[in-house]
Amino acid sequence: MGTDGVKEEELESEAKVDGETASDSESRADLVAPPAPVDDTPEVLNRALSNLSSRWKNWWVRGILTLAMIAFFFIIIYLGPMVLMMIVMCVQIKCFHEIITIGYNVYHSYDLPWFRTLSWYFLLCVNYFFYGETVTDYFFTLVQREEPLRILSKYHRFISFTLYLTGFCMFVLSLVKKHYRLQFYMFGWTHVTLLIVVTQSHLVIHNLFEGMIWFIVPISCVICNDIMAYMFGFFFGRTPLIKLSPKKTWEGFIGGFFATVVFGLLLSYVMSGYRCFVCPVEYNNDTNSFTVDCEPSDLFRLQEYNIPGVIHSVIGWKTVRMYPFQIHSIALSTFASLIGPFGGFFASGFKRAFKIKDFANTIPGHGGIMDRFDCQYLMATFVNVYIASFIRGPNPSKLIQQFLTLRPDQQLHIFNTLKSHLMDKGILTPAAEDE
């Protein structure tokens, strides 16, 4: 009983030294004054739109900069998969910076040791792990051909763990007695940010390797839903949708859904006819470059479908020719318009918790990069899960690449096993073998 009393007294004194409780920390965060709103609209637009009301001025600013971002999106698509991957990396770093900066500003008065250094160090470690896995998976032949890369690939996970462990030990050594609780808050802040931003941006790149269409269509559906929900809400919005985002309306939510489904069907039809969009992105060892040339799968070949009787009686068509991928696009666009916005609501709740309007002021009228990509990360995860569950099958080229790196006795064993299996199934006959 006496020991328990001593422990309780020690804990109380520790809490006093620490000087913070969860409620104290939250109340201090609440005391941080939100930054004063700054008009970051370019001066040229300010002068051109000076005669308009603030509502219509905001509409034009958002519209003009949205068109500029769409044009930039088309340019990077034209530049190819390597540029797209670099852009994804840059977006990831900027989103990470915006979220970490919020944490740093909210708790700035505590001057935590090594907080920013360790945050960026953990970002480096996680990127090394994920991109190392990607290089090993998609550049297998190149990795096996180069001795330094082969060694790094073989011990990749051990190296990654060692790097992370180093950062973990640095964090423990940085702990200061009067800031324990707050330092662990920020340790969790950094790791949740890594989970939200880095992990999901890695999935974006995996989707890209499945084919440009799996990258472009989902992202375009989210963009379309964002634009159309805003347009329907701006002109017809009357009924509030959710308290976290007071400007969101049911009219915009429903109008955005139908517009996005139609847009997804049309975009999928156009893109399914081009090999550069539907073929997986693969690395060509002969030319040391990416290639997107293949024989399109059945998913991207026109097929005839019978129309249900109810719809037939309305439109008069018995059959319709469409790509199977268009059916999958309905699932993608439905998720983008019905579930994707919850990524934005989550971000709105986060910003309200820290009394900020936007993650940053990078894009006038739109906020920070994270404000534009809050729904995209959720969409990327869904697409990756969808491909793994309903689309992807064994990849023969990867199997052959791995087969060729085995020892001769292992290759012979696999050959004999495969031959026996094919003969048992009647695909390979003894007579064919003799020939």
Q: Which amino acid is at 162?
A: T
pLDDT at 2: 47
Q: What is the dihedral of CA 399, 405, 407, 408, to 10 degrees?
A: 70
pLDDT at 425: 85
Q: Which CA distances in Å does 95 have to 40, 99, 370?
A: 19, 6, 5
Query: What is the spatial distance between Cα 290 and Cα 82, in angstroms, rounded to a whole number?
Result: 8
Helix, strand, coil in percent for the chain, rounding step 5: 75, 5, 20
Query: What is the spatial distance between Cα 257 and Cα 262, in angstroms, rounded to a whole number?
Result: 9
Q: Which amino acid is at 376?
A: Q
- Ordered DSSP codes for 240-292: EEETTEEEEEHHHHHHHHHHHHHHHHHHHHHHTT-HHHHSPPEEETTTTEEE-
pLDDT at 322: 93
Record the tokens describing residue 347, joined without a space.
């971000």
Residue 426 carries which DSSP code? T
Q: Please give the chain's pLDDT, 435 residues, in tens.
A: 444 444 444 444 444 444 444 444 444 444 444 454 455 566 666 666 777 777 777 777 777 877 888 888 888 888 888 888 899 999 999 999 999 988 888 766 456 778 888 999 999 999 999 999 888 887 777 787 788 888 998 899 999 999 999 999 999 999 988 888 888 988 999 999 999 899 888 999 999 989 999 999 999 999 999 989 988 998 898 899 988 888 889 999 999 999 999 999 999 999 999 998 999 887 777 777 777 888 898 999 999 988 887 877 777 788 889 999 999 999 999 999 999 999 989 988 888 888 888 888 887 767 788 988 888 989 999 999 999 999 887 667 677 777 777 888 988 999 889 888 888 888 887 754 555
pLDDT at 5: 47
Query: What is the spatial distance between Cα 321 and Cα 338, in angstroms, rounded to a whole number?
Result: 27
Model confidence, pTM? 0.80
Query: What is the spatial distance between Cα 430 and Cα 435, in angstroms, rounded to a whole number?
Result: 9
Q: Are 45 and 61 in contact (CB under 8 A)?
A: yes
* Strand partners of residue 319: 306
Q: Are 65 and 85 in contact (CB under 8 A)?
A: no
Residue-wise pLDDT for 59-87, tens only, equals 777 778 778 888 888 888 888 888 888 99
Helical segments of 107-199, H only: 115-138, 140-145, 147-154, 156-174, 180-194
pLDDT at 4: 47
**Residue 303 phi, psi (nearest 5):** -135, 160
Query: What is the spatial distance between Cα 153 and Cα 405, in angstroms, rounded to a whole number?
Result: 14
- Residue of 205, 191, 197 lying closest to 132 (CA atoms): 205
pLDDT at 122: 96
Q: Determine the 3-state secondary structure of 57 from DSSP.
A: helix
Record the tokens describing residue 90, joined without a space.
């840059």
